[in-house]
Amino acid sequence: MDQYELVEKALCSVRKKTDFVPDVAIVLGSGLGALAEEVENPIVISSSEIAGYPASTVSGHAGRLVFGTLCGKKVVVQQGRIHYYEGYDMAEVVLPVRLMCLLGAKTVILTNAAGGVNKSFCSGDFMLITGQIAQFVPSPLRGANDDRFGVRFPDMSEVYSRPLLSLARECAKEVGAPVREGVYLQASGPNYESPEEVNAFRILGADAVGMSTAVEAIAAKHMGRDVLGVSLITNPAAGVSEKPLSHEEVKQAADKAGRTFVALIKSVVGKM
């Protein structure tokens, strides 16, 4: 079965449960879990009910899609992201994003926790993603291309929508979120980067480093969707401060900024 047929099969499983057509897909990163609670009249479909949907191996939330209304917009929220470091291949990692697009989403909002590579960034800052570096991980488009997703050689010169960036900039001001802008680099994980790698990434032009998002953005852009990416800087990346990195620190910072993160994304969705 090719990739498109796999996603279609997943689509069939969802369509057996709901005919809801979302306009906006939102992928929740660390710290944003609470956003799913704010979806009105939610229809929840667990990943185990969706054919071919990878099982999340990260502790905490089981994977699920939440359909409903958020700030007057029809949304689908992906809770429990699939990461490359869990052992899945990239086509599996992007299956949820492709599925949400086939379900109807025209706009995709990707959120994540990331390490600050830019030395002027502080923990708790938000970074609107202006561009990305994805060459350190395999492309999700590797393998036979199905034109029903998009063209074989898609242009990536503007992965992140400029109008959505302007909107997010405005909304960040409005909700008082400390906001920066910059380039997101996806590393493979699960180990955090070495200080030498972080220095190299900075020279390459990265402002933040994380273990998700860039490949999801490629898959959504391949399908012609408008993409907005927002990182929460949870820690200075390795070597930027003396402190060793820990998942605990990342989780704590994500939890602390959670309310502002939710407010920011809600504001963006409401004004779309």
Active site amino acids:
30, 61, 83, 85-86, 113, 211-212, 235, 247
Report whether 14 contacts 50 (CB < 8 A): yes
Nearer to ligand HPA, 6 or 209 (CB): 209
- Member of 93, 113, 214, 257 binding ligand HPA (CB under 6 A): 113
Q: Tally Cβ neighbours within 10 Å of residue 112.
A: 28
- Member of 8, 92, 125, 193 binding ligand HPA (CB under 6 A): 193
Q: Which residues on neighbouring strands pair with residue 208, listed in sequence order? A: 116, 184
Nearer to ligand HPA, 161 or 186 (CB): 186
Report whether 231 contacts 185 (CB < 8 A): no
Nearer to ligand HPA, 206 or 269 (CB): 206
Judged by CB under 6 A, the chain residues 25 through 84 that form the site for ligand HPA are none
Assess 127 for contact with ligand HPA (CB under 6 A): no
- What's the rounded Cα separation, in Å, for the pair 160 and 167? 12
Judged by CB under 6 A, the chain residues 194 through 223 that form the site for ligand HPA are 209-211
Distance of closest approach, residue 146 Cβ to ligand HPA, in angstroms = 31
Distance of closest approach, residue 251 Cβ to ligand HPA, in angstroms = 9
- Member of 235, 260, 261, 268 binding ligand HPA (CB under 6 A): 235
Interacting residues of 76 by C-beta distance below 8 A, sequence separation 6+: 20, 22, 24, 25, 26, 65, 66, 67, 100, 103, 105
Which residues here bind ligand HPA, judged by CB under 6 A? Answer: 113-115, 187, 192-193, 209-211, 234-235, 237, 245, 250
